[in-house]
Amino acid sequence: MKVLYFAWVRERVGKAEEALDPPAAVATVADLIAWLSQRGDEYAHAFEKPKVIRAAIDRMHVKQDTMIAGAHEIAFFPPMTGG
């Protein structure tokens, strides 16, 4: 699956996107965040406060308990503010 990072998540991870194949035990968005945070210091820093991270699967905003099976694209971004 393609994983996209936006705003300060992208800055902390150090890349805008990557192709990943997480293990089968990674079933939800929350599981993916936990798995990503174990991939190195830059990921740990980006996902240090997982409850504030927002996600979208195939361009649809989802909650962190959403299953990721069959996803083509998962995007992570910080909370959005309006103006």
> Residue 78 to residues 3, 41, 70, 83: CA-CA distances in angstroms?
15, 18, 24, 16
CATH number at residue 29: 3.10.20.30
> Does any domain span residue 83?
no
Please write the tens of the pLDDT for every residue from 17-70.
999 999 999 999 999 999 999 999 999 999 999 999 999 999 999 999 999 999
64 token code pair: 């962190």
Query: How confident is residue 80, by pLDDT bands cut at 50, 70 and 90?
Result: confident
Number of domains in the chain: 1
> Does any domain span residue 15?
yes
> Does any domain span residue 82?
no
Confidence (pTM): 0.94
Q: Which domain holds residue 63?
A: 2-77
> Does any domain span residue 31?
yes
> Residue 48 to residues 34, 43, 67: CA-CA distances in angstroms?
9, 8, 21
> Does any domain span residue 64?
yes
Alpha-carbon distance of 7 to 3, in angstroms, equals 14
Query: How confident is residue 81, by pLDDT bands cut at 50, 70 and 90?
Result: low
